[in-house]
Structure 1
């Protein structure tokens, strides 16, 4: 979390940016992990929906 906060502040110009291409590399890394996290969330949700047992005829489904 500290790295994400510093990256945000450095991008906004509130603190001195990292040396050289480190800020660019940090942005690319943050973006890559964000995309990976979203894909992992979608895959886990899809797996959960596909493996949930379907109710049989006559079963009472209780909400919640």
Structure 2
């Protein structure tokens, strides 16, 4: 009903969506033989993804905002 509540509720799904999309991009390009580093660089150089940094972990990739 209230605008503030709607925005607060909408933020977590957006973050999850960005994490999911980034994982799918990495999976798709690594299958094609691209290295994770080149994927990372192309995401970093993309205007839309500029504020997103991808970090490799032992089990998954995490999307974090740049400090």
User: Which TM-score band applies after superposition, normalised by the shorter structure?
Assistant: 0.3 to 0.5
Q: Normalising by structure 2, what TM-score?
A: 0.43
User: Considering only CA atoms, is the larger Rg found in Structure 1 or Structure 2?
Assistant: 1
- Considering fraction of residues, name the structure with more helix: 1
